[in-house]
Structure 1
Amino acid sequence: MRIVIVEDEARIARRIERMARAFFGKDLEHLVACESITQGLHALETAAPDLLLLDLNLNGNDGFGLLESVSAGAFHTIIISAHAEKAITAFAHGVLDFVPKPFAEERLTQAFARVAATVKKQDSGLKFLAVKKHGNIVLIDIKDLRYIKSAGIYSELHLKNGHKELHDKSLEKLEQLLPASFERIHKSYIVPIEQAAKILVQEGGKYQLQLQNGELVPIGRSRYKELKGRLL
């Protein structure tokens, strides 16, 4: 678990940090506390967190501005704020929970438990990817994927029917969520291993993977040996 706290009151930030460390224990890999939107944005861009704990009033600046700047971020968010009237707006931003200030430890622990349950559910075996399309959520069965290609902070889902869908999570985050049957063969590609037909060795030490439909995708040099071992 990687956590970013954005809270401008040092006393509250220390309390949140203490509770987070106590709750997540040995599962906590990284935690950083920030006191401004600028610091928070930098932390989110560099730490690739699983959880953001965010105040909405940061030295007079609106915390929603931070969420809007990283709307495609692949992390869960818990708002901790005295502005309870902004809860509806917060949930519209896709946050997992809203904890009003002043908060009891039991309430924040409850929010942490929701995060843990959500992450555990994701780890138990992902079957669908949710894609936002025309204001609606469309579920894509992972069995329908031919491969996934990086598109900056997004990912392109290339389907067996020839269609493409844009997913709002990065390739790095999808790699964490997808089952072991999906292989990261290149910095920009993830492929379901059952779609792999054979490896082609090109001049100059370059490698390509031929898919079952004949399409070719690149293989990174550092991924070649591992992929070759899986296909033999």
Structure 2
Amino acid sequence: MLRAIIIDDELNQRENLQIILENHCEGVKVIGQAENVIKGASLIGKLEADVVFLDVQMPGGTGFDLLENLESHSCKFVLVTAHKEYMQKAFKFSVFDYILKPVDIKEVKDTVQRLKAQTKTDSKSSSHGNKLVLPSSNGTQFIDKEQIICVKAEGSYAELTLRESTTILVSKNLKFVSEQLGEEHFMRVHRSYLANLYHVEELVRSEGGFLLMKDGIEVPISPDRREEIILRISTLLS
């Protein structure tokens, strides 16, 4: 199931695109809508979307402003605009596709099919047994899952911290690594962090809250996930 967000200042455009995506494209769910870049950036941070359909011209900021200022994300972007002159600039931001308004059903369906194909291709760099197989700047890394203490988002990359404070930067984002790990003891404890709950030594409530991990590593947590973290750890240890 592809999880989608739509960002467009015109309500009728958002609703029309949602109808096309959910009624004419198999396996797509719109999980959020926003009418400007500020609310859109907030949605991207809170929800784990696979794709964002993004308008360009909006009051208070353009789609390019959002792309330029977004610190980290794990989704692909499709620009949806009435202005074909933005196409060259769009691909400088490595957007996945560019759809012109008025939106054509067939064009949206074609884009969704290519998104699914790309997602399937990405998944081939998956895990094998107790090893995680991921591309890095030096080649391919074969990582023992149980050695992973935490994973931090670094833009479109992810930094894995292993036992004895060894770090590895891989050329896949946090969402991808999270999907490949899969096991219930790896939890998204913060928008930018994934933690191995078996390596938690203490949950510290001061300074906004963080997990003290083995080897003295500190992992920040989102306050609204604190109780869920405690419950998950208790369940694992019971």
Establish whether TM, by shorter chain, passes 0.5: yes
In structure 2, what residue type is equivalent to 1:18? I
1:184 equivalent in structure 2: 186
In structure 2, what residue type is equivalent to 1:5? I
2:48 equivalent in structure 1: 48
Distance change >3 Å, CA 82–CA 149, structure 1 → 2: same
| Alpha-carbon shift at residue 15 of structure 1 (Å) | 1.7
Q: What's the CA shift string for 1:83-109, capped at 9, x where partnerless?
A: 323223222212111112334221111
Q: What's the CA shift string for 1:34-74, capped at 9, x where partnerless?
A: 22112212221222222100011113732111112224200
Q: What's the CA shift string for 1:126-161, capped at 9, x where partnerless?
A: 265455xxxxx6654344774252436664224799
Q: Secondary structure at the match of 1:85?
A: helix
Q: Is the 8 A contact 1:78 1:96 kept in 2?
A: yes
* C-alpha distance in 2 between matches for 1:19 and 1:200: 45
1:169 equivalent in structure 2: 173
| Alpha-carbon shift at residue 79 of structure 1 (Å) | 0.8
Distance change >3 Å, CA 52–CA 148, structure 1 → 2: farther
Higher radius of gyration, 1 or 2:
1
Kindly indicate whether residue 154 of structure 2 is the aligned counterpart of residue 149 of structure 1.
no
1:18 equivalent in structure 2: 19
Kindly indicate whether residue 74 of structure 2 is the aligned counterpart of residue 70 of structure 1.
no
For normalisation by structure 2, the TM-score amounts to: 0.65
Q: Secondary structure at the match of 2:88?
A: helix
| Alpha-carbon shift at residue 4 of structure 1 (Å) | 1.1
* C-alpha distance in 2 between matches for 1:110 and 1:200: 45
For normalisation by structure 1, the TM-score amounts to: 0.66
> Equivalent pairs: percent with the same residue?
18
Alignment RMSD (CA, Å): 4.1
* C-alpha distance in 1 between matches for 2:149 and 2:96: 26
Q: Is the 8 A contact 1:125 1:179 kept in 2?
A: no
Q: Secondary structure at the match of 1:38?
A: helix
Q: Is the 8 A contact 1:144 1:159 kept in 2?
A: no
Q: Is the 8 A contact 1:50 1:75 kept in 2?
A: yes
Distance change >3 Å, CA 6–CA 200, structure 1 → 2: closer
Unmatched 5+ stretches in structure 1: 132-136, 203-207
1:36 equivalent in structure 2: 36
Q: Is the 8 A contact 1:147 1:189 kept in 2?
A: no
2:115 equivalent in structure 1: 115
Distance change >3 Å, CA 157–CA 18, structure 1 → 2: same
